[in-house]
């Protein structure tokens, strides 16, 4: 359980910069799609390196961590860089 928590924290941290980037590009553009999908291999690497395997309980936790990192990164961008008029 502790390894799952640590892996989830790493997944959130990995997704913060990608969420920050995603929030600054047009929705559903090529760059937006890359910002959402580029961290997927990194998340898989975290899963494999942490030794979690492919147990069913890990999926909702790591998927939630993925989207949390994307969401928080986007929020950080909106706070750090106000929209230009």
Report the pLDDT averaged over residues 5-13.
97
pLDDT score, position 82: 75
- Tokens 């993925």 locate to 66
What band does 81 get if pLDDT is binned at 50, 70 and 90? confident
**Nearest alpha-carbon partner for 69 in 1, 25, 2, 14:** 14
CA distance 42 to 78: 25
pLDDT of 85 above 70: no
pLDDT score, position 28: 95
- The predicted-structure confidence for 23-65, as pLDDT tens digits, reads as follows 999 999 999 999 999 999 999 999 999 999 899 999 999 999 9
In the DSSP assignment, the letter for residue 55 is -
The answer, as to whether pTM is greater than 0.85, is yes
CA distance 32 to 34: 5
């Amino acid at each position: 359980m502790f390894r799952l928590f640590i892996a989830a924290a790493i997944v959130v941290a990995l997704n913060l910069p990608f969420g920050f980037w995603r929030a600054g590009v047009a929705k559903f553009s090529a760059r937006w799609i890359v910002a959402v999908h580029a961290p997927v291999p990194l998340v898989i690497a975290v899963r494999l390196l942490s030794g979690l395997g492919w147990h069913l309980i890990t999926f909702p936790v790591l998927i939630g961590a993925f989207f949390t990192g994307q969401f928080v990164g986007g929020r950080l961008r909106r706070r750090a860089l106000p929209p230009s008029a």
